[in-house]
Structure formats: C-alpha cells, structure tokens
Amino acid sequence: MITAHCSLDLLGSVAALCVCDLSPAQCDVNCCCDPDCSSVDFSVFSACSVPVVTGDSQFCSQKAVIYSLNFTANPPQRVFELVDQINPSIFCIHITNYKPALSFINPEVPDENNFDTLMKTSDGFTLNAESYISFTTKLDIPTAAKYEYGVPLQTSDSFLRFPSSLTSSLCTDNNPAAFLVNQAVKCTRKINLEQCEEIEALSMAFYSSPEILRVFTLQVPITVQSIVIQSLNKTLTRREDTDVLQPTLVNAGHFSLCVNVVLEVKYSLTYTDAGEVTKADLSFLLGTVSSVVVPLQQKFEIHFLQENTQPVPLSGNPGYVVGLPLAAGFQLTGALPCQLVAQKVKSLLWGQGFPDYVAPFGNSQAQDMLDWVPIHFITQSFNRKHFVLQDSCQLPGALVIEVKWTKYGSLLNPQAKIVNVTANLISSSFPEANSGNERTILISTAVTFVDVSAPAEAGFRAPPAINARLPFNFFFPFV
C-alpha cells in the first residue's frame, strides 16, 4: 500500500492518465489522482470521482492504480495501490515493438522554420501562375463500369476541368472535377486585356463544349441552362437564349473593354444509384472587364444531384461556412391532441355542408320553407364501464340518422311523406394513448327509415241531431 506522502512518479505513465484533472495548476474537487491536490483539499472530498485509473486496454497485462481516501488520518490522506490487471480478451497485445503505432501521430504544421524541410519530402507541385497554358497531362481512364466517389469525371478526350487555386489565389485549370465532390471556389486570373479573345478560360465554350462520359463509354453533353449578363454598374440581365458567346474586345473612346467574359460558372450534374452521370447543366455569369478590374476574380461551383430526389441545401460539410444560413427545423410528430382529433372525426362524420332541413315531398319547392321538416340534432356521450376515465378523450364514434315517414293521401294512391328527421352523434370515451403508441378507432354512419303510418280508418257522416229550442217557461209551474 502506497500513501499520499510518496511521490506519484513511482506510478510512471499511469499517474499521468487522470481524466478528472481538468484545471491546470489547481485541485479539482473529488479528483483523487490530481497531483495538485494536498491534504487540505482531501479534507473536503466526499469520495474519489475516478477510483481506478488504467493504462492502455489493448495490452494483455496493464498497470492500474486504485485510489481511495483515508479519513481516519489527520489530516485525511490519499491512498493508492498499484496493481496489474489481466485482459481476458484473446485479441490483446502482449509486446509492442513500436509504441507510436498505438496512437495517432500529430501532424507537423508548416511554418517558416520547417517549410523547406517539408518541401523536400513532398512530391512537388507546379507554381505556374499562367493558368491558361494548356495542360497536356491526361489522366488514365478508369476501367470500372461506374463512377465512384472521388473519381475524376472523364470527357471524350481528357477530364472535366474545374479551375481552382492551389498554392496561391491564382486560378489553375489543371484540377479535375471529382464525382460526388461538391465544390465552390474563388480564384484570381491574371489576364492581358488586349488578348482576352484568345484566352480560353474566359470563354463559355471552354466550359460547355466538353462532353462528360456517362459510364466511360456513353457521352452526356453539357447543356447551358441560363446566361446572366452583368454590366459595369453591377446590374444583372438574363438572356432569353442560351447561345454560346465569345469574349470580344471593344474600344470605348480611350478605354478598352472586353465583353462576354466568364465571371461565374455553376455545374449541376445529375447521377443515378448505379454511378452514372445522366445530365449535366451549366449556368454562366458573364460580365464586362476593363483595365480597372484586372486581375480578374472568377467563381466556380459544382453540385451533384441524385436522380428522382429533392436536393437539400447544406450550410457546410460538416462545419458551417461563413455567410450560409443556419440550418433549422421543426420536430414533427404523428400524435394529435384529443380536441383536434375530435374535430377531425366530427367533420368527417358530418361531411361538407350538412343540411338543416329536409323536404317533406320529393317535389317540394324551396320557397315553401314552412313546409320543410327541420333536422333535430342530438349529441350523446357514453363512458365505458359506467365511469369517467381519468385522462380520457371523448371522440365521436357514430352518426345515426333516423328518418320517420308516413303514407299520405288517398288509400288508392298513398304518397310517401317525411315527417321527422333526427341526427344523433354518439361519442365514447377513450383513454389517451402514450407517446409512440397508436390506437385504431372505428367510426360509422347509419341511416334508418321508420314507417310511422297509422292504420286507415273508415269515414262516416255524423248522425243527425235535433236542434229544438223550447220557450224558457215551457214547464212552468212544474219546474
């Protein structure tokens, strides 16, 4: 048993594994392995938050330190025990010959001191600032039957070029567009305004003329969807047609302008689950360049959309990108409150525009409103087991319509006449279901016709009556 008055250095690297030591040069409460804690601090400890500290769990045998507190001592002391733990797994490391292999290597960040050393170990890259110089290297065409993530998009003669910046902000056209890799870059291009008509990277044809290979054999043409023209005062005008325009040098007095210069390029590629590119759309922003804006800044974007799906805009992958909106949403649930369900069921039973009156005869006129039969509405509620359930929900379950009719008119040709209509909405109490549970409720509608005709009675004339009036004093003096 080793007590606190011994040095923690005896434990070697295991003592350094103190996960509760969060405050540098300060004692963390209930952290028994914190080397900054003293006996005064132990007096306010209640227990060790991390009682056992172990080494690397990948080894078959590893050192472990068991921490505890001795409150009987005055002042209280920290007690720790160094033990050997055996890993029961058969897949464990017995001896390691290369210890750095057990952890990730911290990358060396380039700075002014080690930049030259890192340059010697790298494979090298081009520092050519003239990005419009033709790139003659051709990528090897893959032999797979479909595109995979990160594979360069092939064209009929090379690959789809996606300009980007490498070692500086200058554009280079040697970067291939990769399958399913969404990109949005800005770069600067140094141009000679007098030669703007000869620079391919300023022309629409440089981006729209290649044909992307669908699956390395079939070709998919690039379709220009929209062309927006930006003037010198930043006003935007969308062209009606999508014809390819060429950069043109125009002399305006003492100034030279180059019109129809590509400022922004946006690719939108549609692909299938089988790794095939089925559609390629392209949008341009063209502008006018003067000697004032040289060098020229261009923007390039490429997005991949899966076929038969609705794209979801992102604000970064995975971190947020400055300037993009914050992603927010609503938590939707399939559960509905009782009152809303009752209203929905009630409207379903009543239907649209439930009437208030019923015509007594089949040919009743609308203007004879006093002859029409009003509908009597009744609402009934039934509680299961003859008591009101706690947290119960009253839901309509049935709509029963009773129509009373009678035979009207001559016995030789009686006519059906409606004399009374009653609509009875019956509700029942149901216990509210817990979240995530579902309940099926059966609703029904019934219509019954009741014949209230009375038996026919024969009619007779009233018997004759004598209407004789005698004088007032006819029986005087007897009466």
- For 434, the enclosing helix (H) or strand (E) is none
pLDDT value at residue 361: 92
For 302-306, what is the mean pLDDT? 89
189 or 358, which is more confident: 358
Type of residue found at 258: C
- Confidence class for position 436, pLDDT limits 50, 70, 90: low
Q: In Å, how far are 23, 372, 396, 421, 448 from 362, measured between CA atoms?
A: 91, 11, 32, 15, 18
> Helix (H, G, I), strand (E, B), or coil: what is residue 201?
helix
Instruction: Give residue for tokens 């392995």.
Output: 33
* Rounded CA separation 87/85 (Å): 7
Residues in the chain: 479
pLDDT digits (tens, 9 = 90+) for 380-435: 887 655 445 556 788 898 999 999 999 988 878 889 999 999 999 999 887 766 66
pLDDT value at residue 356: 93
Mean pLDDT over all residues of the chain? 80
For 234-260, what is the mean pLDDT? 85
CB 45 within 8 A of CB 32: yes
**Residue 169: CB partners within 8 Å, gap ≥ 6?**
187, 188
**Residue 231: CB partners within 8 Å, gap ≥ 6?**
237, 287, 288
Type of residue found at 458: A
The answer to whether the predicted template modeling score (pTM) of the entire model surpasses 0.85 is no
Sheet containing 415-431: order of strands: 357-358, 373-382, 415-431, 392-408, 444-451
Is residue 142 pLDDT above 60, yes or no? Answer: no
pLDDT value at residue 133: 37
Q: How many CB atoms lie within 10 A of CB 435?
A: 7
Is residue 139 pLDDT above 50, yes or no? Answer: no
Is residue 439 pLDDT above 80, yes or no? Answer: no
Q: Where does residue 364 rank: exposed (0-12), middle (13-18), buried (19+ CB within 10 A)?
A: middle
CB 22 within 8 A of CB 3: no
- For 130, the enclosing helix (H) or strand (E) is none
> Helix (H, G, I), strand (E, B), or coil: what is residue 57?
coil
pLDDT value at residue 2: 37
Is residue 367 pLDDT above 60, yes or no? Answer: yes
Q: In Å, how far are 15, 54, 56, 59, 99 from 86, measured between CA atoms?
A: 19, 11, 12, 8, 20
Q: What is the DSSP letter of 433?
A: P
CB 49 within 8 A of CB 31: yes
pLDDT value at residue 373: 94
Longest alpha-carbon distance in the chain? 162
- What tokens does 348 get? 């379903």
- What tokens does 181 get? 């890799």
